[in-house]
Amino acid sequence: MTKRMRLRTLLFGGIITLLFLILISRIYYFQVLGGGNYYEMAKQRWSTSDVLTAKRGSILDRDGNVLAMDTIAYNISVNPKVIHAEGIEDMVVEGLYSILGGKESDIREVVTAANKSGEYYMQRELRKSGWEIEKAKADEIKQLKDQIKAYLRDKDVGTDDGIIIVETQKRYYPSGLASQLVGYVSLDQENMSGVEAFYNDKLSGEDGYIRYEKDGQQVQLAKGDVDYKPAENGDDVKLTIDSEIQNIVEEALRDVMNKYHPKSATAIAADPNTMEILAMANMPDFDPNAYWKSDYSSYYNHAIYSLYEPGSTFKIATLAAAVDQGLFDPNELYKSGSIKVPGDPKPISDYNNGKGWGTISFLDGLKRSSNVAFVKLGYEKLGKDKLFDYFNRFGFGQKTGIDLGNEPTGTIHVQYNRDIAATTFGQGVLVTPIQQVAAVAAVANGGKLYKPLIVKSITDPTTKTTTVVEPQLVRQVISESASKQVSLYLEQVVSDQEIGSGRNAYVEGYRVAGKTGTAQKVINGVYSPDKFFVSFIGYAPVDNPKIVIYIAIDEPDDPDAGGGSAAAPVFKEIVLKSLRKMGVAPNYPIDDSSENKEVSVEVPKATEVSVAQARGIMKNATLNVEVVGKGDTVLQQVPEAGSKVHPTQKIYLITEKQEQLDVPDLTGLSLRDALELTALTGARLVPEGTGYVTSQTEEMVNNERIVKVTLSPPAGSDQAVEQEGAADANSDSEEGSSPDNGDSESEAGAGSSGDQALTKQ
* Separation CA 670–CA 131 (nearest Å): 60
Between the CA of residue 543 and those of 136, 322, 540, 746, what are the distances in Å? 54, 21, 8, 19
Count the Cβ atoms, other than its own, within 10 Å of residue 203.
26
Q: Would you say 88 and 265 are in contact if contact means Cβ atoms under 8 Å apart?
A: no
Beta strand pairing status for 276-283 and 264-271?
antiparallel
* Separation CA 363–CA 239 (nearest Å): 40
Between the CA of residue 205 and those of 49, 55, 58, 143, what are the distances in Å? 20, 7, 11, 35
Give the amino acid at 677: L
Query: Is 129 labeled as catalytic in the residue annotation?
Result: no
* Separation CA 688–CA 240 (nearest Å): 39
Q: Would you say 256 and 283 are in contact if contact means Cβ atoms under 8 Å apart?
A: yes
Helix, coil or strand: residue 526: strand
Between the CA of residue 126 and those of 71, 131, 221, what are the distances in Å? 20, 6, 36
Question: Exposure string (b/e) for 696-706, b if CB count within 10 Å is 16 or more?
Answer: beeeeeeeebe
As a three-state string, the secondary structure of 393-406 is HCCCCCCCCCCCCC
Q: Would you say 694 and 672 are in contact if contact means Cβ atoms under 8 Å apart?
A: no
431 beta partners: 308
Task: Kindly tell me the sign of the dihedral angle through the C-alpha atoms of 137, 143, 146, 150.
Answer: negative
Catalytic residue among 193, 264, 312, 336: 312
Q: Would you say 411 and 430 are in contact if contact means Cβ atoms under 8 Å apart?
A: yes
* Separation CA 295–CA 356 (nearest Å): 45
Alpha-helical (H) ranges within 243-359 are 243-260, 302-305, 315-324
**Residues marked as catalytic:** 312
